[in-house]
Structure 1
Amino acid sequence: MQHLSVARPARAILLGSAGLLLSGCSLFQSSAPQAPLPASATLPDATISYTLTGQGSMPVVFQSDLGDGKDAWDSVLPLAEQQYRVLAYDRPGYGASRKTATPRDPCTIAAQQHAMLAQAGVKPPYVLVGHGMGGLYQYVYARLYPQEVAGLVLLDPTHPDHWRRMQSDAPTSAMAIKARRKLMFTSIETVEFDAQAQCLQHIDLKTPLRMPTMLLVRDKFGIEELGSVETLVRSQEKDWQRMTGAPAIERITGAGHYIQKDNPVIVNEAIKMVVKKK
């Protein structure tokens, strides 16, 4: 197993897979950029805006973290679309996708992604890429539709038990997140945050996945996360390895929570490795 580790500086502020972190970015310029094809999928319970670009037979589907639209992948897509058919989208309530009254639990979000891909005419199997809460959503998709998934690339994914454990193991940080939820979250962020563990009692979290998986995690934590939060996140990284069956935990040197912005090249390398193993 090649170890993915390339140094790159990052900056971050509170919120993330550990809680929910926002971080700086670096742009990868493609030598032959392709203009996105804007489109929308009209589902019974939502209208979802997406872009579908790129070449190749392998579809790669990107899912963003809590609070992010598809533009969170802008540093990764120019290279990915040179090799794969790439779909990135805004969940309802983000970017160009209108809010919906449909529940925002991981199972509902996975089902909407399933319906959107079918309407977009993108046929499985897919490589699913997810960041933070989006990593949890992609993992649930792989549980619900395993026959449609060729592999997973998870970037600092939010653990199914993360929020419950944070409240007991890192109460000071949990109080800070509760304050941000009340004062700064949008309505859709609040609903998604509150629903992050709903429906998971129906998902098999014990049996490892039987598909190629790359688990990429951050190297850097914010000052406010050092100590109990970092300890919790590190322990849950090990559990993610068990849950997914990933061969290793790939710690990306110099990267914060937003690995795709701090090191977009390494994310594309991880996608390539999953495609080779499918």
Structure 2
Amino acid sequence: MRHGKQGTKPRRRGWRIVRAIAFGFCIIVVGLGSVGALWNYLAVRRDRANNPPPGHIYEVAGYPMHLYCTGTGSPTVILESGHGEDFTVWGKVQPALSKGTRTCSYDRAGFGWSAPQPGERDAAHIARQLHALLAVAGIDEPVVLVGHSGGGLYARVYAAYYPAAVAGLVLVDAYSPTPLPKPAFSRALDQHSWLQFAAVKTMVALGVARAASQCDEVPSGLEAYAGWIKASTCYYPVLDEYVREDNALGTSRAEGAKTGPFGSLPILVLSQDTTRPMPAFLQKRVSAADWAAYSAAHDEEQVAYLRLSTQSRRVVAKGSSHYLQYDRPDVVVNEIESLIGRNRQ
């Protein structure tokens, strides 16, 4: 018995040591997380203070919305960014288009320098907020509305709600309201779990993304926008707005499916080049057959847009990815200028 009691003491001491180490480790992790969160918060606050948004902030339904207009001339071109993105994605396009006509980009509610707004984040609500923003800004002439990706879906709904306010519609590799069946890998890429969003937000909020230099990444050719890009890249509340738009995507597609045709409205369909090689990040995960099936389905979606108007035209930007405005801004600018030229005749 005496030996048994003595044997328990080292074990108890051992557990106390383990618990002390675990507790100390937790304190270190919490401490580092707190320091990282504070670092990221102060860095974002500094970047946003040092890089105020260009253009103007307007009150829309009591909430600030950011609109950035450059150039002069008519018709005004309105640039609608893709799902979860802000005005900076048009940094290679807006300066060039502004040489010939007034061109405006903006931040949807909750992105960039526009405050979040209550209510749903579906295409109908987004279209109404854009219309209210343009009214407050005094842009009352018919505009050429350009929408990229999910923004193309929003632009289509806007054109249906406000036909008299739209002189032309440009769909830049736009989302389809009724997507065709796609390979399993493509569906998987489009699906995001709440756990993935939570993990990304945690990494951003705790400064992990900043420590990995992800907050300072600026796409080539957008150096003039570097300050604004860095000021919003790791502004983690934006991730909540991305989730809100993502959750409303099904509703937005249903709203888009009810639109059109648009009569003789000039419509320009700009599409990515699906004959380009498979992106490197997919090469170890996707078969050549799956990639070919995805490309064919995507092309069918883009061709279907031509049925929206008797004055529709499609251009494939050779060598481009989904982000035509990054890869082939020359094609985007030239084709929009051509549409404007025909509109002025």
Alignment match, 1:3? none
Q: 1 CA distance for matches of 2:187 and 2:62? A: 32
**Native 8 Å contact 1:45 1:102 kept in 2:** no
The answer as to whether partners of 1:58 and 1:126 remain within 8 angstroms in 2 is yes
* Correspondence for 1:96: 113
Which residue is 1:266 aligned to? 331
C-alpha distance in 2, partners of 1:48/1:136? 20
Equivalent residues in 2 for 1:232-247 (5 A)?
232-245=297-310, 247=312
What is the match of residue 195 of structure 1?
A: 248
| Higher share of residues assigned helix | 2
The corresponding residue for 2:94 is 77
1:111 paired residue number: 128
Letter paired with 2:169? L
Question: Residues 60-209 of structure 1 correspond to what in structure 2 (within 5 A)?
Answer: 60-162=77-179, 165-166=180-181, 169-179=182-192, 182-184=195-197, 186-198=239-251, 200-201=254-255, 204-209=258-263
Please give the per-residue CA displacement for 1:207-239, whole angstroms capped at 9, x wherever unaligned: 244211110100045344713322321111121
Letter paired with 1:90: D
Q: 8 Å contact 1:152–1:274 — kept in the other structure?
A: no
**C-alpha displacement at 1:122, in angstroms?**
1.3
CA distance, structure 2, for counterparts of residue 251 and residue 99 of structure 1: 35
1:217 and 1:72 map into 2 onto residues whose CA distance is 17
Q: Which residue of 2 aligns with 1:211?
A: 265
- Equivalent residues of 1:127, 1:150 under 8 A apart: yes
Give, in whole Å, the separation in 1 of the partners of 2:256 and 2:292.
33
Structure 1 SS opposite 2:320: coil
**Residue deviations 1:48-73, cap 9 Å, x none?**
11112111132110000012100000
Q: CA deviation at 1:149?
A: 0.7
Match for 2:319: what amino acid? G
TM-score by length of 1: 0.78
User: Which of 277, 295, 315 is the matching residue for 1:230?
Assistant: 295
Aligned to 1:277: 342
TM-score (norm 2): 0.64
Structure with larger RCO (C-alpha < 8 A, sep 6+): 1
Aligned partner of 1:5 in structure 2 is none
Moved more, 177-186 or 128-137: 177-186
Secondary structure of 1:198 counterpart: helix
Q: Which amino acid aligns with 1:191?
A: R
- CA distance in 1 between partners of 2:62 and 2:322 (Å): 31
Over residues 19-56 of structure 1, what are the superposed CA-to-partner deviations in whole Å (9 max), with x where a residue is unaligned? xxxxxxxxxxxxxxxxx852112111642111121111
Divergent runs of 4+, >3 A = 179-182, 199-206, 220-225, 244-248
Instruction: Report what 2:204 is aligned to.
Output: none
- Specify whether residues 236 and 55 from structure 1 end up closer, same or farther in structure 2 by C-alpha distance, changes over 3 A only: same
Partners of 2:100 and 2:186 lie apart in 1 by 41
- Give SS of 1:227's match: helix
Match of 2:243, as an amino acid?
Answer: T
191-200 vs 172-181, which moves further: 172-181
Please identify, of 57-66 and 177-186, the stretch whose mean Cα deviation from structure 2 is larger: 177-186
RMSD: 2.3
What letter corresponds to residue 190 of structure 2 in structure 1? I
Give the gaps of 5 or more residues in structure 1.
1-35
2:63 and 2:257 map into 1 onto residues whose CA distance is 24
SS in 2 for 1:253: coil
> Does the CA-based 8 Å contact 2:59-2:65 persist in structure 1?
yes
User: How many Å separate the matches in 2 of 1:240 and 1:256?
Assistant: 19
> How far did 1:170 drift?
2.6
Paired-residue identity, %: 28
Instruction: Verify the 8 A CA contact 1:106 1:197 in the aligned structure 2.
Output: no
Contact 1:104/1:195 (8 A) holds in 2: yes
Provide Cα deviations, 1:228-257, integer angstroms capped at 9, x if missing partner.
322321111121121244533211101111
Q: Assess if the C-alpha contact under 8 Å between 2:69 and 2:104 holds in 1.
A: yes
Quick one: distance in 2 between partners of 1:202 and 1:231? 22
